[in-house]
Chains A and B, each alone.
Chain A
Amino acid sequence: MTSAERVRGAGLLAAALALAAVGTGDIRALRAFEETVVVSEGLTSRVPLSRYFDGIAGTRMDAPVYLFDSGVPGGSVLILAGTHAYEPASAVMAYVVLENARVTQGRVFVIPRGNMSASSLGMLGNAYPPFFHVQTPWGHQKYRIGDRETNPLEQWPDPFTFVHYPTRQVMAYQDSRNLNRAFPGRPDGNLTERTAFAITELVRREKIDMTIDVHEASLGYPVVSTYVCHQRAEDMCMMASMVLSAEQFPMKTETSPRTLRGLTHREIGDFTDSFAVLMETPEPFIDKFVGPMTEELMLTGRDEFMQTAADRGLLYTDYSAKTGASLEYRVGRHLAGAAEVIKQMGEFYPAKAVRATWPTYAEVMARGVGYFLHDPKAADGKRVFTN
């Protein structure tokens, strides 16, 4: 090559590197950011998930597990949030629980970010913003909008197809990094399978009576605004959904299909003694036909294209662009959904009763999510943690 061509090449390479450096600002910020939580005084302990399986120790999947132990005999509940990190009302619900829970009977375990790796990835290529901010009386609290699957920086390469263990059901290759297709997991599997195994081991060793997996779903998807429950948890979920529908908001119940493998509502129920329940709330942000993917859409759920779809009967839940599906609505639904199904477990099985209180649906709708989040700078440092 001539020296002029080399100079041109060097210039273009420098421009490409500059583009990469500038263009990855959001990516690097998302990867480095840690969410802050001010736990309530009822917190008993905080341990890493690797306490239950050391095969994930030292990895980004080693999520913190928070325990509220009343010291009074009763049941045990696990609230598993953030399985899919791009459903952030799930994690925010867990954070509201962590910051406000009072447990007077039994124990409540909370994992706010089940797939920590996915929460560091984001879907910036789909124009998802990396963060959203919840307004509070003292400022704002910042949270990540993650991805559905484990970050390839932690688990790569993907197989051509993912074969679920132990059923050998064949799934799409990307589901090898989908935590909610990896249950019950295995100790020598890929990182996502090992994480699922760690969670399953937590359920077994702590004798968790009810596992609640918290999700969000697109409105064009039939499994929305619903419990999805293992067969052994049907009665409790049916009662809970009837009570919620009569008193607070529409809630369905669907039974976990026996032929769909890898999900918590199937495998936690089959491979442990825990009642496995999954909750879905509507999240317009992840529907494919909405408008600009903005933080406002994430927080309010108001979208004209969603209204068009609703007018044409294409949605599986009620929707109005005037009210949208706000973060308050979604977090409130999850708080109430968890509270009610836990209450029903105590009704059906008094020995497994768990008495725990946190903000209600009505309170969150009236005051906003931010009202129930506390200022880390003003709090006792011993109660401030990062995830």
Chain B
Amino acid sequence: MILVQVVIHQVYFVLSAVVAVLLATRLFRRKTRRGWAYDVVYAYTIIPFLLRALHVK
């Protein structure tokens, strides 16, 4: 049971990293909504996912 919890815990960190990578990808590769405001949204939204993936916060 504890092992399952640890695995799920680590999977969530991986998911967080995946979302951060997806957001970074969309920042540089998107065909619609290419204005600077959307750049800001993508860049800013990466922060919490990155911090969680890096075990900072």
Does A5 count as interface, using CB distance less than 8 angstroms? yes
Q: Establish whether residues A16 and B44, one from each chain, have CB atoms under 8 Å apart when the complex forms.
A: yes
Hey, which chain B residues are within 8 Å of A378, CB to CB? none
Query: Which of A1, A10, A189 counts the most chain B CB atoms within 10 A?
Result: A1
Q: Establish whether residues B47 and A16, one from each chain, have CB atoms under 8 Å apart when the complex forms.
A: yes
Q: Please, which residue of chain B has its CB at the minimum distance from the CB of A190? A: B5
Q: Which residues of B contact A (CB under 8 A)?
A: 1-2, 5, 8-9, 12, 24, 27-30, 34, 36, 39-40, 42-44, 46-47, 50-52, 55-57
Q: Please, which residue of chain B has its CB at the minimum distance from the CB of A27? A: B57
Restricting to A1-31, which residues have a CB under 8 Å from any CB of B? 1, 5-6, 8-10, 12-13, 15-17, 19-20, 24, 27-28, 31
Q: Establish whether residues B39 and A12, one from each chain, have CB atoms under 8 Å apart when the complex forms.
A: yes
Hey, which chain B residues are within 8 Å of A9, CB to CB? 27-28, 39, 42-43
- Give Cα A109–Cα B15 distance, bound, in whole angstroms: 42
Distance (whole angstroms) from the CB of A251 to the closest CB of chain B? 39
Main secondary structure of the interface of B (DSSP, over half): helix
Question: Which of A151-159, A276-284, A323-331, A367-375 sits within the interface?
Answer: A151-159
Q: Establish whether residues A188 and B2, one from each chain, have CB atoms under 8 Å apart when the complex forms.
A: yes
Checking B1, B40, B52 against A188 with a beta-carbon cut-off of 8 angstroms, the contacting residue is B1
- Give Cα A358–Cα B5 distance, bound, in whole angstroms: 42
Hey, which chain B residues are within 8 Å of A17, CB to CB? 50
Query: Which of B2, B8, B30, B52 counts the most chain A CB atoms within 10 A?
Result: B2
- Give Cα A13–Cα B44 distance, bound, in whole angstroms: 8
